[in-house]
Amino acid sequence: MLANSNAYLKEKNLIGGEWVDADSGETLSVNNPATGETIGTVPRSGKAETARAIDAAAQAFATFRKTTALERSKMLRRLHDAIMDNQEALAQLLTQEQGKSLFEARGEVGMSAGYVLWFAEEARRSYGDLVPSPWADRRIMVTRQPVGVIAAITPWNFPSSMLARKIGPAIAAGCTSVVKPASQTPYSGIAWGLLAEEAGIPPGVINVVTGSASEIGGEITRNAKVKKVTFTGSTAVGKQLLKQCAGTVKKVSMELGGNAPFIVFDDADIDRAVEGAIAAKYRNSGQTCVCTNRFYVQSKIYNKFVDKLAAAAGELKVGNGLEEGVQQGPLIDMKAVETVEAMIADATKKGGKIVAGGKRHELGGSFFEPTVIANAKPRMKFTKEEIFGPISPVYKFKTEEEAIDLANNTEYGLAAYFYTRDLGRAFRVSEALEYGLVGVNEGVITTVEAPFGGFKESGLGREGGHQGIEDYLETKYVCVGGLGM
C-alpha cells in the first residue's frame, strides 16, 4: 500500500476537535528512511498553536473530569477496537515513517491497543481509602482525582506505543492531553487523533501538535494550565524539560535513555542466551531504550558465545521493512549511521575485533550491517554511551561480583538482562542490579501488565502495570467533621 493512500496519513494538527494547519502555513517534510522518499508533510506549529491546544484541553477538562470511570472505560474499549480493526493500515504507516519491519510494526500497534485495553480496565480501579479516624466525630476520606491537562512528548523509535502508555492512563484518569509526536514520525501520533474521533472520544480530550520542539516544549512547560508533562526521549532533553517544568512545579514523568547490560554466566543455556541476545539487541535495528548496549560474558564460554552471536547476527535479513521476511530495517537517518560508524572506529582503534558486520549495508542509504565486536573494553565509547544502532560489543568477565559491578557502572538504570541456570544466582543478581526492568533468561520482557521505567538517570515514574495510572491522579484527603457522634 502506498503511504498516500493510507487512511491514517493525516497532514494536519488536531486542536479542540478541528483539523488545522500551522498559523504560518509552514510545514515539515516526513521521509521514509528505507527509500529516502518524502511521504508527506505536517504542520510546523509553534507557541501560538500549542497555547490554543492547551486552552482546548483545559476547556474539555471542565466536562471530561465529570465523566464516570465506566464511561471512560467504555471509550477506551472503543479506542482499543478502532486500533485493532485498523492494525494493518497503522502498521504500514508506522513502517513507512519509521523503518522497522512490518512484523515489528504490527506488534507495536498491537501493544498500543493492549495498553489502551489495560487502562480501560484500570480506569475502574483507582480506589481511594477510608482511614480509621482518630476523632469520634470526624471521618477521613482519601480520594483520587485527575491531575488535569497533561502534555506528552514522544520519540521516533516507538511512535505509536509510547503515546499509548500516556493517552491510555490519561483518559482512564479523566485527564485531557496535548500531544507532541517526534518530527521524524508524526503520522503515527496524529493517527491517535483520528482514532479518538472514531472511538467517540469528545473533542479537545486529545489534541495533537507537530512542529518546532523548542517552541512547543517551551509553551507546554511554561503554561500554568498544564499540570503534568510526560516525556519519553533522550536523557539530555529530559533534563532540560525538568528544569523548564520547575518554574510552574509541574508533575513530571520521564522515560529516558538506557545502557542495558546483558550478562551471560558460564552456567547459562548458551543457545537460549543467543536467541535472547538477538531479540534484545537487533529489534528495531538496535534503536530502543531497552536494547542491549553491553554484553558481559563469563570467560569459560566467551568464545563460544561470540561465535554463535556472530553467526546469528550474520543471518538477520536486512531490508525495507515492508518486504516479507525482513528482520532489520534501516536506521532512522544518516546521522544515526555516522554515530554508529564513529563508535565502531573508536572500538577498533582501541583493540576491538569485528566478528560480524561492521559497515554500511550494500543496500545503501541508512541500512547498516548487524555488527558484533569482540574484545570490547571499558575505555571504548559504547561502554558509557547509548549506541542506538545494531552493534553488539562483547566484554569478558571472570566473577559474578565483577559482572554486577560492571553492569551497574553507569548513570543509566533502565533495563538489564542476564542468563543463568543457578536459582540462587538468579535472585542474587536480580536484586543487585540497579535497574527498573530485569530479564532473567529472557531478552524481551515489556508487557502492558508490568511497570516500565528506570532507576537513576533513566527516568522518573512508571508506565504500564497498575502503577501506570498513578502519575495521572492527584490524591485528596477530605476530613468530614461535625458528625456529632
Residues designated as active site: 255, 289
DSSP bridge pairs for 353? 374
Give the nearest distance from C-beta 277 to ligand NAP in angstroms. 19
Smallest separation (angstroms) from ligand NAP to the CB of 360: 20
- By C-beta, is 217 or 319 nearer to ligand NAP? 217
Which residues, including other chains, have CB under 8 Å from residue 89's CB and lie 6 or more apart?
A: 1, 6, 7, 8
Whole-number CA gyration radius for the chain: 23
- Of 400 and 457, the one with the shorter C-beta distance to ligand NAP is 457
Nearer to ligand NAP, 315 or 449 (CB): 449
The cell 540462587 sits on which residue? 424
Which residue is at the shortest CB distance from ligand NAP?
217
DSSP string, 45-62: B-HHHHHHHHHHHHHHHH
230, three cell numbers: 510526560
Adjacent-strand bridge partners of 179: 152, 208
| In the complex, least distance from residue 180 CB atom to ligand NAP, rounded to whole angstroms | 6
Of 99 and 174, which has the nearer Cβ to ligand NAP?
99
Q: Residue 195 or 289: which CB sits closer to ligand NAP?
A: 289
Give the three cell numbers for residue 420. Answer: 543463568
Which H or E element spans position 283?
Answer: none
Cβ–Cβ < 8 Å for 400, 367: no
**Strand 18-20 vs strand 226-232: parallel, antiparallel, or unpaired?**
unpaired
**Residues of the shown chain interacting with ligand NAP in the complex, contacts defined by CB under 6 A:** 153-158, 162, 180, 182-184, 213-214, 217, 232-234, 237, 240-241, 255-258, 289, 386, 414, 454, 459
Q: Determine the Cα–Cα distance for residues 95 and 108; give it in Å rounded to an integer.
A: 10
Residue 25 gets the label, from left (phi > 0), alpha (psi -120 to 50) or beta, of: left
Q: At its nearest, how many Å lie between ligand NAP and the CB of residue 29?
A: 13
Q: Do the beta carbons of residue 154 and residue 112 sit within 8 Å? A: no
* Closest separation in Å from C-beta 416 to ligand NAP: 13
Provide the Cα torsion 329, 334, 335, 340; round to 10°.
Answer: 60
To which residue does cell 502506498 refer? 2
Which of residues 75 and 151 has its CB atom nearest to ligand NAP in the complex? 151
Q: How far is the CB of 258 from ligand NAP (least distance, A)?
A: 5
